[in-house]
Amino acid sequence: NERNLVDVCLSKIKLSVFSKAPAHCFDAKCVEKHKQAESQLRVPVGTLLKELERWDEYNTFTTQLLNEYKVTRVDVLYEDLYYSSDAESWSKMLHHVLSGHQEAVLTPVRTRADVSQYIPHLATSSPDRSSSIANYDEVKEALQGTKFTKYL
């Protein structure tokens, strides 16, 4: 899947600074810890572009390897998995992963509620980056005119 690279950096910063926020959440109490951590999140603007470039190169390299070895896959956006109002991306991904397994009986995944049967994870960040970065204006200015502006 593909994920917003700014969100990748935010997650790394959040987990390194706020050790009480686990990487993955399965209940509302955990999500609340992430929201509290996010409200205080300051992105180190001086190293942000370098970090985004590194993640972009990693994604490009990984995609090239998958293509070179003709790995069958389904491409979905991370944001669609956690912030979409429907379950289309989850359905595509689960169908792909479970196809070919005769023992797997896949109940149709049509709604977000259906998804929770298979995936107990909850979203740990806000899709609105302006409310989840304390120094958002600095970050926006640093990314202005770069290929990473789209991730804001």
Can you tell me the distance from the alpha carbon of 21 to that of 39, in angstroms, rounded to the nearest whole number?
Answer: 13
Residue indicated by tokens 């070179």: 68
Q: Which of 13-27, 61-75, 80-94 has the lowest mean pLDDT?
A: 13-27
Can you tell me the distance from the alpha carbon of 143 to that of 150, in angstroms, rounded to the nearest whole number?
Answer: 9
Q: Which of 54-58, 81-85, 106-110 has the lowest mean pLDDT?
A: 106-110
Q: Evaluate if residue 67 carries a pLDDT over 90.
A: yes
52 against 101, higher pLDDT:
52
Q: Evaluate if residue 141 carries a pLDDT over 60.
A: yes
Per-chain mean pLDDT for the chain:
86
Reported as a single tens digit per residue, the pLDDT across 30-46 is 888 888 887 778 999 99
The alpha-carbon radius of gyration of the chain (Å, integer) is: 17
pLDDT of residue 61: 95
Residue 30: count other Cβ atoms within 10 Å of its Cβ: 15
Paired strand residues for 25: 122
Can you tell me the distance from the alpha carbon of 13 to that of 40, in angstroms, rounded to the nearest whole number?
Answer: 11
pLDDT of residue 55: 94
Which pLDDT band holds residue 102 (cuts at 50, 70, 90)? low
Residue indicated by tokens 């180190």: 44
Residue 93: count other Cβ atoms within 10 Å of its Cβ: 21
Closest to 43 in 3D by CA, of 125, 147, 106: 125
Under 8 Å between Cβ of 18 and 37: yes
